[in-house]
Structure 1
């Protein structure tokens, strides 16, 4: 299977990758001056276990369209390989975890060399190629893009403890993605411990039950020939194997209790360590077995040794261990390297140098022609009348968009975790259809009682995943990155029950960090969702919106404000320098005739909803509590009401007044009069608006909710009109 590969040259490249990866970490910790005295860190042992897997993959298997997500702690291996392929200048090899240098973990947006997927948040880098595969299939089904390749995740076995992995593996859509391959670095160690018992067979069975193809790369040629020794290793728990890696030859012979007299000491130690994950020929064969199965995803379990070939090999405490100078020089001697010139180039014309040159040429990608996102209109022409909620406005939005700006609607893709209809996407789903990996029969198409037509085909524009919110936001991140990956911008919008934003926050934040631009809509929100009870009443999400980097948060009260702000948010997607958005919506109907703001004011963060020539107090209200604010102002007589559409925008204005950030310093000044006290009001935690001014009294929800009518709940949480009046009178006195 490997006749065309020069295995001797590949072995020398493998040794150079091990040396460079180790040296990158060594220089950062032992050579580079450390001004702060804080440990720099790095993961020499975790990198060493991945060296063979990545050398075989990159130099013998990968093609240019393929994309790889690299285990976070193996980032030095990725940078070493990129350097050998001519993708990373030598000067960066001394900058690991230095400002402006190589990042701690692979980063698409911050590393100087090519990185296909950002990793670093355990479990999310593993699943990213799944969502990347779906995103590419979606783009390829709707637009003209170059052919995609395999989507590969290189992960540690301990990473499979993360629920995000199994939530993705179990989604029914995933079992049809033949381009997806996971490679599990089965080194049987996590950060603090040896992974107990023998888990590989159970893990493989779980993958197969979910429809995956599994490949085991367990032993190299030495152990493959020794049935007795192999049987002994098969029967021992992980902890025993790891302990025996620390034994010398006499102790190993005694503990194995297997006849190994025909093996010399060096041969015995080498044979005991002869795992498939460090045999290049076995790895290449395993990868090709995975490639041969194209109708479902594959997982390759590769048995490895954490700290392979290093003095820390197999030690349970080697996760963050660093070689000292003496150990580093011993490794240089072992590998035939120069500890005083660790980053010297390969000998020109040598077989290993030629292999690196040829691989670099094979993996070179052409430039992607970037298509600009369509111009988003400022208004859809709808007259917002009667009583309506922002969730209802959201549901009508996409129907209006399809009519008024079809070229923009063509770029919209909506995603939800089994809550599309309950978040008011039914009309859009009927018009756009459900996107699926291949057409599926709608068995309810002839049912006259069916309000939503669930037509699944590869040209639909709504993606419905299972109930797992983590999958939703993982998908959003990759859909939001197609402008940079495939040159085709999408406008991805995800809907989620607002109480579950916190559950999805970390992967959504990581997707933004990785360059994905999307809109997340949380609805319904707050204790306003009265009958649902405390389990479904979100309190902290307004603050989350303010604090999330790379995102602008909105909580409009009126349909018109929602329309203006949502159109503006769409216009910021799918381009360099773009930004994501979060919308917190409500199911409470509000009289739309009360609206007074302009488009510019709504996008900037707010406007005076009820003005007063000489107010004694200002009521700053956001979202669904506008009626309570207006009622309180009417009772007080000399109060004005400021309707806030974005606490995020106003906080940026607050910071800008001190010369911090990128907000408009004049926004807050135009909304709040100097010296006039403020009562802030929202269906969320009161500290959200506490920055508005002084003196200020902040009203909001600080306790878990409960089921009930919103009149009772507002009074219970002191966000009703009477509470606003009381707070205002206290301030004015």
Structure 2
């Protein structure tokens, strides 16, 4: 396939003077942006500070200048440190690259409005978020950067996603992936976890740039040169080199390099690199009296006296400040050099000055300092900008304007070329996806021959089938020996199967991904020789985990680094919206350890990645593992949809529907699919057994039903009535499963069913549906009708998605309401006013997780609810023991039902007797729910 080129030749030879002039204008514009954001007239009392990080933005000025003005292409991606965003916006302002959604340019007036709108709430006008954002008008191929330590890792895994897509035959442009990080940010554990992985995967298209300004939020960076054997820059160099990275130090600017050539210049170079600690350097930068400084240095370093005598005070002043990270030409050379390292990622350590060009340069605590008004006036004057206008591009006749126009047009054309490629890919995949008809609702996994399967087992079956379909030729003459041709139901899954890629943090085999892994490890360009086969020691009963480079290789192995995998699944999930290639990434992880990657997980959801995260096994249901594996990562975040199926069939429907939504780009607001699975088996036949008992699925029903075990006068034994066709029942239930919940046990339409008297609704989720079923059966034997509603998605039922339509499915789809059922209680002597008992149908919820997952069902509807949930650290034991320990077992559910039924009965309403259609003689009023529901002796569950 042809692909757009990223050859990024500079439009023409350009002088250092012109480039530095542009950088100074960008510096002024960025500083002015920050100043204006902090001096708005609409500030209200108590409003938090705006900030803007002028000094941190200034230290990255020339680094970003080299990228924007000389090195990057419109196909490249950039992850920039958060505090450098004003600088980026300023370069894009000068390049005229503020774009609308249709890629047309903002007018100059609109662009100036945007520059005035840093951290401002938009009422439709263009503004800029605090840091790089998907919503900014210059967001093209920029990673959102509010979370430090995450975007540089995403850049690496996007580089891997590009290579993966290319090697699997999809059309992608040549691109380089850049990440600018702060030196304090570089201490983030997320970055160090990824360092060896990027080198081992030979991501030569990745360049990290360290903005080494030696200062952080709380002051000077304090390092220990004696213990670390050098500066922090030396430590970083050794660390990265030891992990397989190319390292380029850009320590000195051209002025320093010229001075090094003078007699004794080598002593000055050694002084700067080896003898001067970072903290001392920052102090020297604050000294203005060069004569005194010369004397002080000569006294401490006598070998430098000859050199110091040979340079003027001005030369020394400029040389001390001439960091390589502010030499735009040397930076561009280093960046171009990094692109030549095709097998190793590169880190450029750019030595910079925090607050470059500002009065606060090198000052302690300058991180949060803001420029003063007179400083802005001075900067504006130096730019030759007159009048009331605050932001101004170069006059069209200047060499700066001519260069910026040519450079900006080139980048704009490449941006449009990438979007054209995205459109082309989207059209290609849409046509190919519908070639064999719509994606079916199910993968038709047969569970009837399996004893008590669990949902994690089902995941393995589903992924195995997708893998088999992907690797089965459509042409029968290409089938291998004994390879079965695809059925009509399987052919529509062919392309989704090919797009499907799985990954795991060293738990692929233990989360049932074996079939997707066996002989299908994507390891390119690293190929490991299969010595096991060569030496005759291969165990073919175990999965083949040798990396390869076949097109059928679609599993990514990782070490135990959950953050890396979460970043990777997010990067692969962005390929759909970046290039129109709907790769379907799915990661498995022990559910408890999702917490280790919550930062990365949030990032994936924020930038609207479309991906699958399977937390399995989950919760205290993994009872033998005890406390440390038991607490689920229960979270609600925008763009997330959580599923927790009980029956294997539910998982089949959920996965197929989610895949279809992903490939058709029909999952807005729910692009992050979080699946909770377990290794506790369940009787799959129970699903149809209980569904067939429901009145709505009976054929020719007249009158009321009753259960054979507990006959009620006036009812017909439900077993004596025929039921609808199973396929018809499943079609209806599938729709309900995908809306978030369905009735498994439903006594509506049964004789003796009296809402407000003997009815309670049990909402059960995941493996705890077993406890809901048991509780319902126990309660029925006592004359209580306990409906069991299986919650498949808390987000759809009572979470963010449900809130969007005012919980319509809960209220109307399931018919859960707060209707009040009245009966006469006792008369009072006040005309015809009567005190009555008002009863609603109460709710009990039971699930393996934090109470907050389902404890708002009652409040949403307006009824009494008791939530059986995990509220303490767990222990080891059998599920039955652990469920009892947490009060989420069947007995606890029964007790909870008794409590809410009794408490509901205590509610009283005063109403006119004439308004009552029916009344009953009232008994003695109870004072507490326990009087109506005698409890057995309390059990010590501790």
TM-score range, shorter chain: over 0.9
Q: Which moved more, 1:61-70 or 1:375-384?
A: 375-384
Measure how far apart 1:31 and its partner are: 4.7
| Contact 1:46/1:73, CA 8 A, preserved across alignment | yes
C-alpha separation between the residues in 1 aligned to 2:187 and 2:209? 15
C-alpha separation between the residues in 2 aligned to 1:199 and 1:112? 33
1:381 aligns with 2:444: yes
1:188 aligns with 2:218: no
Measure how far apart 1:212 and its partner are: 0.4
Q: Partner of 1:98 in structure 2? A: 120
1:238 aligns with 2:278: yes
Q: 1:606-645 counterparts in 2 under 5 A?
A: 606-613=741-748, 614=753, 615-637=758-780, 638=784, 639-645=786-792
The change in CA–CA distance for 1:699 and 1:292 in structure 2 (over 3 A counts) is same
| Contact 2:180/2:211, CA 8 A, preserved across alignment | yes
C-alpha separation between the residues in 2 aligned to 1:245 and 1:418? 49
| Contact 1:482/1:489, CA 8 A, preserved across alignment | yes
C-alpha separation between the residues in 2 aligned to 1:246 and 1:157? 21
| Contact 2:766/2:848, CA 8 A, preserved across alignment | yes
Residue from 140, 157, 162 that aligns with 2:183: 157
Q: Partner of 2:727 in structure 1? A: none
The change in CA–CA distance for 1:557 and 1:275 in structure 2 (over 3 A counts) is same
1:143 aligns with 2:182: no
Q: Partner of 2:464 in structure 1? A: 399
The change in CA–CA distance for 1:111 and 1:537 in structure 2 (over 3 A counts) is farther
What are the superposed Cα offsets for residues 682-720 of structure 1, whole Å, 9 maximum, x if unpaired?
Answer: 111123211111211111111111212222111111111
Moved over 6 A (4+): none
The change in CA–CA distance for 1:576 and 1:232 in structure 2 (over 3 A counts) is farther
Q: Which moved more, 1:563-572 or 1:698-707?
A: 563-572
Measure how far apart 1:341 and its partner are: 2.5
Q: Partner of 2:890 in structure 1? A: 721
Q: Partner of 2:852 in structure 1? A: 687
What are the superposed Cα offsets for residues 526-576 of structure 1, whole Å, 9 maximum, x if unpaired?
Answer: 11111112111123x2x31xx111011010101011111122222232537
C-alpha separation between the residues in 1 aligned to 2:41 and 2:585? 44
Measure how far apart 1:652 and its partner are: 4.1
Q: 1:25-44 counterparts in 2 under 5 A?
A: 25-31=34-40, 33-35=42-44, 37-44=47-54
What are the superposed Cα offsets for residues 208-253 of structure 1, whole Å, 9 maximum, x if unpaired?
Answer: 0110000111011222224333333331221111122111124433
Residue from 506, 514, 531 that aligns with 1:418: 506
1:558 aligns with 2:647: yes
The change in CA–CA distance for 1:211 and 1:79 in structure 2 (over 3 A counts) is same
C-alpha separation between the residues in 1 aligned to 2:657 and 2:508? 23
Measure how far apart 1:292 and its partner are: 2.8
Measure how far apart 1:171 and its partner are: 1.6
What are the superposed Cα offsets for residues 159-206 of structure 1, whole Å, 9 maximum, x if unpaired?
Answer: 111001110002266451111111111101111121123211111010
C-alpha separation between the residues in 1 aligned to 2:211 and 2:770? 58
1:249 aligns with 2:338: no
C-alpha separation between the residues in 2 aligned to 1:419 and 1:173? 22
C-alpha separation between the residues in 1 aligned to 2:21 and 2:497? 53
C-alpha separation between the residues in 2 aligned to 1:13 and 1:576? 44
| Contact 2:617/2:679, CA 8 A, preserved across alignment | yes
Q: 1:117-128 counterparts in 2 under 5 A?
A: 117-128=143-154
C-alpha separation between the residues in 2 aligned to 1:161 and 1:95? 32
**Greater RCO between the two (CA within 8 Å, min separation 6)?**
1
* Equivalent position SS for 2:38: helix
What are the superposed Cα offsets for residues 64-84 of structure 1, whole Å, 9 maximum, x if unpaired?
Answer: 322211111100111111112
Measure how far apart 1:414 and its partner are: 0.9
Measure how far apart 1:478 and its partner are: 0.8
1:19 aligns with 2:58: no
| Contact 2:739/2:809, CA 8 A, preserved across alignment | no
Q: Which moved more, 1:484-493 or 1:226-235?
A: 226-235
The change in CA–CA distance for 1:391 and 1:254 in structure 2 (over 3 A counts) is same
1:702 aligns with 2:871: yes
- Size of the aligned set, in residue pairs, is 725
C-alpha separation between the residues in 1 aligned to 2:139 and 2:446? 50
| Contact 1:20/1:343, CA 8 A, preserved across alignment | yes
| Contact 1:118/1:514, CA 8 A, preserved across alignment | yes
Measure how far apart 1:437 and its partner are: 3.0
Q: Partner of 2:605 in structure 1? A: 512
Measure how far apart 1:330 and its partner are: 2.2
Q: 1:39-438 counterparts in 2 under 5 A?
A: 39-88=49-98, 89-100=111-122, 101-111=127-137, 113-171=139-197, 174-197=200-223, 198-224=231-257, 225-226=259-260, 227=265, 228-234=267-273, 235-250=275-290, 251-257=292-298, 259=305, 260-338=308-386, 340-364=388-412, 365=414, 366=417, 367-368=420-421, 369-371=424-426, 372=429, 374=433, 376-385=439-448, 386-401=451-466, 402-403=468-469, 404=490, 405-430=493-518, 432-438=520-526
Measure how far apart 1:155 and its partner are: 1.0
C-alpha separation between the residues in 1 aligned to 2:339 and 2:138? 30
Q: Where do 5+ consecutive residues of structure 1 fail to align?
A: none
Measure how far apart 1:114 and its partner are: 2.5
C-alpha separation between the residues in 2 aligned to 1:323 and 1:220? 26
* Equivalent position SS for 1:726: helix
Measure how far apart 1:435 and its partner are: 4.8
* Equivalent position SS for 1:176: coil
* Equivalent position SS for 1:245: helix
Residue from 543, 548, 571 that aligns with 2:637: 548
| Contact 1:573/1:580, CA 8 A, preserved across alignment | no
What are the superposed Cα offsets for residues 81-100 of structure 1, whole Å, 9 maximum, x if unpaired?
Answer: 11122112333111111123
Q: Partner of 2:686 in structure 1? A: 594
C-alpha separation between the residues in 1 aligned to 2:807 and 2:529? 52
C-alpha separation between the residues in 1 aligned to 2:460 and 2:519? 12
Measure how far apart 1:157 and its partner are: 1.1
Q: Which moved more, 1:205-214 or 1:353-362?
A: 353-362
* Equivalent position SS for 1:117: coil
C-alpha separation between the residues in 1 aligned to 2:871 and 2:48? 38
Measure how far apart 1:376 and its partner are: 3.4
| Contact 1:680/1:686, CA 8 A, preserved across alignment | no
Q: Where do 5+ consecutive residues of structure 2 fail to align?
A: 1-8, 99-110, 224-230, 299-303, 470-489, 692-729, 819-839, 903-942
Q: Partner of 2:548 in structure 1? A: 457
The change in CA–CA distance for 1:670 and 1:662 in structure 2 (over 3 A counts) is closer
* Equivalent position SS for 1:301: strand
* Equivalent position SS for 1:590: coil
| Contact 2:129/2:135, CA 8 A, preserved across alignment | no
Q: Which moved more, 1:414-423 or 1:568-577?
A: 568-577
* Equivalent position SS for 1:170: helix
The change in CA–CA distance for 1:115 and 1:142 in structure 2 (over 3 A counts) is closer
Measure how far apart 1:350 and its partner are: 1.2
Q: Partner of 1:469 in structure 2? A: 562
Residue from 783, 796, 806 that aligns with 1:649: 796
The change in CA–CA distance for 1:293 and 1:115 in structure 2 (over 3 A counts) is closer
Q: Which moved more, 1:470-479 or 1:576-585?
A: 576-585
Measure how far apart 1:394 and its partner are: 0.7
C-alpha separation between the residues in 2 aligned to 1:216 and 1:149? 23
| Contact 2:523/2:556, CA 8 A, preserved across alignment | yes
| Contact 1:329/1:339, CA 8 A, preserved across alignment | no
Residue from 5, 18, 23 that aligns with 1:9: 18
C-alpha separation between the residues in 2 aligned to 1:283 and 1:212? 18
| Contact 1:417/1:469, CA 8 A, preserved across alignment | yes
Q: Partner of 1:677 in structure 2? A: 842
C-alpha separation between the residues in 2 aligned to 1:240 and 1:710? 62
| Contact 1:684/1:700, CA 8 A, preserved across alignment | yes
Q: Partner of 1:497 in structure 2? A: 590
C-alpha separation between the residues in 2 aligned to 1:4 and 1:70? 27
